[in-house]
Copies of this chain bind each other. A is one copy, B any other.
Amino acid sequence: MSLMKNLSDKELERGIKDFLEAAPKTYLPGVSIDTVIFSFHNNKLKVLLLRLGDMPYFSLPGGFIKKEENLDDAALRTLQERTGLENIYLEQFYTSGNAIRFNENIVHEKLKTLVNLPDNNWLQQRFISVCYYALVDETKVNPQPGPFTSEFQWVDIKKVPTLLYDHNLIIQKALNRLAADLDQKLVGFNLMNETFTMGELQKLYEAVYQKKLVRTNFQRKMLSLNVLERLEKQYNGKAHKAPYLYRFMEAKCKC
């Protein structure tokens, strides 16, 4: 599902110029934020990727920290700006800081073709990037382009292409952390609808753990947690027993 914004080069140029003028007085230098935005839709775990212009690589959405803004607040703000959502589950998990970043020169070249930039402009400095992961409802996200975004795409976690910088590594670390948090903090329900079947929930866990689970044991485990409320059955017209719907009872959980 590609969300083409089809920003023209003219629009990109305008956005980048405005950004570059404001950035040095607005944002902390040398520190950026990258966010791995997860969703779970049609039984697939996905991440939101974006592209600058017609560049051959996607990258993670991110942003910068205002000079008087707390780090976590900046992560939430940039995420809200990009998704239009409130109340997002957000977790810091890693900070990336190699001196030379994969393909960064390609980005700089691309920027120069879009805008007439001097060498050593604000965007060309070295950045230490603080990484967060977010759990969102894909259907409620209305991606808003930032100054460097011409295209959004939700990509199946199993089909993520080679990305800019070390963003593939960052996604892998996010996924590892999400798997641990799924166990220990039950954060997975932030990715489910209000109601869901046990089979749907199992698909989420399988996508995060990247392995098949035994259906009957999964069901027993989930029910034993005592955080699921069983609702009416879901008659879906299929020629078999209808599954129950469940709701996650936040009150019973310690997260």
Interface residues of A (CB under 8 A from B): 28-31, 65, 67-72, 74, 92, 94-99, 126, 128, 130
In the complex, what distance in Å separates the CA atom of A31 from the CA atom of B68? 15
CB distance from A245 to the nearest CB of B (A): 34
In the complex, what distance in Å separates the CA atom of A201 from the CA atom of B126? 43
B126 in contact with A95 (CB, 8 Å): no
A97 in contact with B65 (CB, 8 Å): yes
Q: How many copies does the complex hold?
A: 2
Residues of B near A68 (CB, < 8 A) are 99
Other-chain contact of A128, B94, B126, B128 (Cβ < 8 Å):
B128
In the complex, what distance in Å separates the CA atom of A145 from the CA atom of B67? 31
Which B residue sits closest to A28, measured CB to CB? Answer: B30
A99 in contact with B70 (CB, 8 Å): yes
CB distance from A30 to the nearest CB of B (A): 5
In the complex, what distance in Å separates the CA atom of A28 from the CA atom of B32? 13
In the complex, what distance in Å separates the CA atom of A96 from the CA atom of B65? 13
Which B residue sits closest to A94, measured CB to CB? Answer: B92
Residues of B near A128 (CB, < 8 A) are 28, 31, 65, 71, 128, 130
CB distance from A202 to the nearest CB of B (A): 24
10 inter-chain pairs at a CB distance below 8 angstroms, sorted by A residue, are A29-B29, A30-B31, A67-B99, A70-B98, A70-B99, A71-B95, A71-B97, A74-B97, A92-B95, A95-B95
Known: A92-B94, A95-B92, A95-B95. A67 touches B31 (CB 8 A): no
